[in-house]
Chains A and B, each alone.
Chain A
Amino acid sequence: MIPSPVNFFFDPMLEATKLGCVRGARRLFRDLNFSLAPGTFMQVTGPNGCGKTSLLRIICGLVTPDEGKVTWQGASIQSLGEEYARRLTYLGHRIGVKEELTSVENLRIASGLTASDLTTSDAREALERIGLAGREDLPARFLSEGQRRRSALARLITGETSLWVLDEVLASLDSAAIKIVESLIERHLDNGGMAIVATHQELHIAAGSFQRLELAS
Chain B
Amino acid sequence: MNAHPMLSMFRWIVTRDLTLAWRRRADVLSTLFFFVIVVSLFPLGIGPEMRLLQSIAPGVVWVAALLASMLSLNRLFANDYQDGTLEQMLLTPQPLYLVVMGKVLAQWLVSELPLVLIAPLVGVQFGLASNTLVVLFFSLLIGTPILSFIGSIGAALTLGLRGGGVLVALLVLPLYIPVLIFGAGAVDSSIVGIDPMANLYLLSALLVLSVVFAPWAASAALRISLE
Name A residues whose Cβ lies closer than 8 Å to a Cβ of B: 60-64, 82-83, 85-86, 88, 90, 92-101, 105, 109-110, 112-115, 117, 139
Q: Which residues of B contact A112 (CB under 8 A)?
A: 8-9, 11-12, 16
Segment of B86-94, B115-123, B174-182, B208-216 in the binding face: B86-94
Given that A94-B87, A98-B83, A112-B9 are contacting pairs, would A86 and B93 also be in contact in the complex, using a CB cutoff of 8 Å?
yes
A82 near B94: Cβ-Cβ < 8 Å? yes
B20 near A62: Cβ-Cβ < 8 Å? no
Residue in B closest to A106 when the chains form the complex, CB atoms: B85
B19 near A101: Cβ-Cβ < 8 Å? yes
A94 near B91: Cβ-Cβ < 8 Å? no
Tally B residues with Cβ within 8 Å of A.
28
11 A-B pairs, CB-CB below 8 angstroms?
A62-B91, A64-B227, A82-B95, A90-B91, A96-B83, A97-B84, A101-B23, A105-B19, A109-B12, A115-B92, A117-B1
The contact of A113 among B23, B89, B227, by CB within 8 Å, is B89
B20 near A85: Cβ-Cβ < 8 Å? no
Q: Which residues of A contact B9 (CB under 8 A)?
A: 112-115
A-B contact count (CB 8 A): 81
The contact of A63 among B12, B20, B82, B227, by CB within 8 Å, is B227
Given that A63-B227, A96-B85, A117-B8 are contacting pairs, would A101 and B20 also be in contact in the complex, using a CB cutoff of 8 Å?
yes
A90 near B92: Cβ-Cβ < 8 Å? no
Given that A112-B12, A115-B5 are contacting pairs, would A60 and B91 also be in contact in the complex, using a CB cutoff of 8 Å?
yes
Instruction: Say whether B13 faces chain A, with CB atoms less than 8 Å apart.
Output: yes
Instruction: Say whether B24 faces chain A, with CB atoms less than 8 Å apart.
Output: yes
Q: Which residues of A contact B16 (CB under 8 A)?
A: 98, 101, 109, 112
CB distance from B37 to the nearest CB of A (A): 27
Q: Which residues of A contact B93 (CB under 8 A)?
A: 82-83, 85-86, 114-115
CB distance from B132 to the nearest CB of A (A): 40
B84 near A93: Cβ-Cβ < 8 Å? yes
Q: Which residues of A contact B19 (CB under 8 A)?
A: 100-101, 105
Residue in A closest to B82 when the chains form the complex, CB atoms: A94
B87 near A62: Cβ-Cβ < 8 Å? yes
B20 near A100: Cβ-Cβ < 8 Å? yes
A114 near B92: Cβ-Cβ < 8 Å? yes
Cα(A93)–Cα(B24), bound, Å: 25
- B1-17 CB mask vs A (1 if < 8 Å, else 0) is 10001101101110010
B89 near A92: Cβ-Cβ < 8 Å? no
Cα(A94)–Cα(B13), bound, Å: 19
Residue in A closest to B226 when the chains form the complex, CB atoms: A62
Q: Which 8 A-B pairs have the closest CB atoms?
A: A94-B84, A112-B12, A115-B5, A86-B93, A96-B84, A100-B23, A96-B88, A96-B85
